[in-house]
Amino acid sequence: MTLVRALSGTPPHIVLPEGTVDTQMHMYLPGFPAQPGGPDLPAGSLPTPDQYRQVMSWLGIDRVVITQGNAHQRDNGNLLACLSEMGDIARGVAVIDAETPETELDRLAEARVVGARIMDLPGGAVGLDALEAVDARASVRGWMLAVQFDGSHILEHEARLARLKSRWVLDHHGKFFSGVTPESPQVAAVKRLIDRGNCWFKFAGCYESSKSGGPAYEDIAAVARDVAAHAPERIVWGTNWPHNLARQNADYPDDAALTDTVLGWLPDAAARRLALVDNPEALFGFAPVRGAMR
């Protein structure tokens, strides 16, 4: 059966504020094949910029951060094409390493790339072994880092993460694959890193690491509420569209329902405004919202 992605429907009950930024998603254009070392392109029809614009209208999203997908590994061509297609409402997070030429970094920056991705899980193009080298290059340009790994091991990496010079975000609710609670030492480490002033925590892809499962994702929710209460000024949110780990229709989330669930872990409208507008502006360098965007 072909995977079918809903692109419209009943909007979320929680109304997203004007200027909302989706800080975690992928999109694809024809002509950019998957590269060796990564996964295949997403199942079903190619999740294109045109499809994503429909999702933006459905959910109430105004701006977007496009993250380089693992399928394309270190070839940022698809990302650049999508950024061109989306225009000024979009920023990008690319894959670079110590060997990326300065001329390529210039090209990425001109296309509105504002960050670099570290993905230390199967299929990732650049892992934690390159953390310091990528940080050095990103910090010179004022870029941020999106860092994803099995957060169960965060205590082993805390000292390195604490030394990062760039702004950076811990992706996907920390991806604590072994399971944690608000009382776990791993969550205490997240709070210490946030308190250093250059670390954010991303609400996105809760289903990828939840042990309790949907629709409530109680284990992820408990930690999310705790971290949000600790530092509401350091939370950002993303749809994780097009949900690349969903391989069949039964696994594919309802984007409106998932938005309501995840944003419900924030305590009030002021915290949602921070997570959806103000915090991503600070992390990704969007201009502050002035007046209505819709």
Is 198 an active-site residue?
A: no
What is the spatial distance between Cα 24 and Cα 2, in angstroms, rounded to a whole number? 24
Backbone φ and ψ for 228, nearest 5 degrees, come out as -65, -35
Annotated catalytic residue within 198, 240, 244, 279: 240
H helices within the chain, ranges in order?
Answer: 49-59, 77-86, 102-110, 131-141, 154-162, 185-195, 218-230, 255-263, 269-273, 279-284
Instruction: Tally Cβ neighbours within 10 Å of residue 148.
Output: 24
Using alpha carbons only, how large is the chain's radius of gyration in Å?
18
Q: Using CB atoms within 10 A of its CB, is residue 40 exposed (0-12), middle (13-18) or buried (19+)?
A: exposed
Do the beta carbons of residue 38 and residue 125 sit within 8 Å? Answer: yes
Report the catalytic residues: 240
